[in-house]
Structure 1
Amino acid sequence: MTGLTLSNVEVIYDKVFLAIKGVSLEVAQGDVVALLGANGAGKSTTLKTISGLLGPERGLVTRGEISWEGKNILALGAPERVANGLVHVLEGRRVFGHLTPDENLVAAFRTGGSTGRLNELKEQVYTYFPRLKERYRSKAGYLSGGEQQMLAIGRALMTEPRLIMLDEPSLGLSPLLVEEIFAIIREINSSQGTSVLLVEQNAAAALEIVRHAYLIENGHIVMSGSADILKQNPDVQEFYLGGAGKVNYQDVKHYRRRKRWLA
């Protein structure tokens, strides 16, 4: 079914720097998709393009189309996109540190919603993240990194999204916490049918939970396919999954040449 489609999208910062160049990707309804790549490849810019958050960073879509459930949403502001079921969990958690977890959840609930629905959604979040219920009276700024990431995801769920975009949810977390949070992401997808677009540098962890993945480099989508296909690709194994430690990063020309998908 129709979900999110980016068609040949280009973004420029400060009217000078071309950040993403002809990016096309799809996230079908109910699907879990990863956007992988190194630092500065264009992953976060792609998410901000979808969620409508380019403006404060002086970014502008200069070409292409973003379609959500069959409608072009480029003219919509960020709040309207949230109201249409798109939510973006930014890199770095960005919870309201002076508020409690409970108050963070209330702050994300739509204006004019019923108290009954508010309580239902809070209970749903606490079911996914019981640790937040234990800490619901603490200031969010004093939560651990993992708990803050759980709160950021929980706060996004309060908007009742049909597509949740997660920017580096594993950043700064231990492997055990990453495994726990990714398991919850998978559960949210399977139990609610919420589509997920996951931006990650931790390609190994991401490819374990997604069905389809795109690889972006220097603003271009350079490879896409099922998670199994990408995991088996020798270049992805070597440069993104750790390989066998054979990469000589001092030999830049060799490093670039080995990326056969750019040939």
Structure 2
Amino acid sequence: MSLLSLSNVEVIYDRVFLAIKGVSLRLEEGGMVALLGANGAGKSTTLKAISGLLGPERGQVTRGEITFDGRDVRAMGPPDRVGAGIVHVLEGRRIFGHLTPDENLVAAFPLKGSRGELDALRDRVYTYFPRLKERARHKAGYLSGGEQQMLAIGRAMMTSPRLIMLDEPSLGLSPLLVSEIFAMIGEINRAEKLTVLLVEQNAAAALAIVDHAYLIENGHVVMDGSAETLRTNPDVQEFYLGGGGKVDYHNVKHYRRRKRWLA
């Protein structure tokens, strides 16, 4: 049984705008899956449908099923979904800039946990991100962009999640930092057996670390397969990986027709 399953999910904003249109996807426990696509394709909306964060943006799931570990989560509020093991690292990091990294980590720890559990989780975060430990007493707002992204991921780990969803973790970072953070995400996945759902516009970086990927266009899943399958697909290379070389324009035309039909 899959850890997370979406079946024909539709999301509407303001009871008018249909943002995603019948999205279906599956994540196996311990796997790494990427959700790829251009700006406005519906990637972030899909994550918010899973984490329950559509309400503040006047969005709602109007159709379909979202199950986590065999449970329907649609009726659950965001805190209950976190308690079930779903954690969402929002685009833009959203750390508490006026607090220190240490205080950010403590703030994310569940109130019902013990001091021993808090210390163990915090030590684990510092093991993965030693730079945060070095700056544990500095104001988080003065950290570099890469350090703030590390803190956002570390803060999510303080909830002991089973699924971590990362929305554009490479945003605003240099290629060197992107490589470092993506390598650490892969290490956490392997060491902790933590399931990862990664939303990225940097398709090349995402496909280098995930097992499987879904491509979203205009609110539809138009393609999915193993990372290798998408990485070697000529249409994906042309439109999402900036690939040069010889293009099979017959297949490109077919793909464009398919996208128009889905839209």
Query: What TM-score comes out, normalization by structure 2 length?
Result: 0.94
SS in 2 for 1:259: helix
Q: How does 1:130-209 map to 2 (within 5 A)?
A: 130-209=130-209
Q: Which residue of 1 aligns with 2:91?
A: 91
- Give unpaired runs (5+ residues) of structure 2: none
> Residue deviations 1:29-81, cap 9 Å, x none?
00000000000000000000000000000001000000000111100000000
SS in 1 for 2:63: strand
1:225 to 1:106, Cα distance in 2 relative to 1, 3 A: same
Q: How does 1:233-244 map to 2 (within 5 A)?
A: 233-244=233-244
Amino acid at match of 2:120: E
8 Å CA contact 1:86, 1:162 repeated in 2: yes
8 Å CA contact 1:235, 1:259 repeated in 2: no
TM-superposed CA distance for 1:246, in Å, is 9.2
| In structure 1, distance between residues paired with 2:234 and 2:257 | 10
Q: Which residue of 2 aligns with 1:24?
A: 24
| In structure 1, distance between residues paired with 2:28 and 2:258 | 25
TM-superposed CA distance for 1:259, in Å, is 2.8
| In structure 2, distance between residues paired with 1:257 and 1:14 | 34
Query: What TM-score comes out, normalization by structure 1 length?
Result: 0.94
Percent of aligned positions that are identical = 74
SS in 1 for 2:208: helix
Amino acid at match of 1:22: G
1:259 aligns with 2:262: no
| In structure 2, distance between residues paired with 1:186 and 1:234 | 26
Q: How does 1:60-71 map to 2 (within 5 A)?
A: 60-71=60-71
| In structure 1, distance between residues paired with 2:21 and 2:2 | 23
TM-superposed CA distance for 1:2, in Å, is 2.4
> Residue deviations 1:174-215, cap 9 Å, x none?
111111101111111101100000000000000000000000
Q: Which residue of 1 aligns with 2:110?
A: 110
- Give unpaired runs (5+ residues) of structure 1: 248-254
TM-superposed CA distance for 1:243, in Å, is 1.5
Amino acid at match of 1:183: A
> Residue deviations 1:5-28, cap 9 Å, x none?
000000000000000000000011
| In structure 2, distance between residues paired with 1:261 and 1:183 | 35
| In structure 2, distance between residues paired with 1:133 and 1:149 | 14
**Displaced runs of 4+ in structure 1, greater than 3 A?**
255-258
> Residue deviations 1:83-131, cap 9 Å, x none?
0000000000000000000000000000121101100000000000000
Q: Which residue of 2 aligns with 1:33?
A: 33
| In structure 2, distance between residues paired with 1:135 and 1:245 | 46
> Residue deviations 1:122-179, cap 9 Å, x none?
0000000000000000000000000000000000000000000000000000111111
Count of residues in Structure 1 that have an aligned counterpart in Structure 2: 256
Amino acid at match of 2:207: L
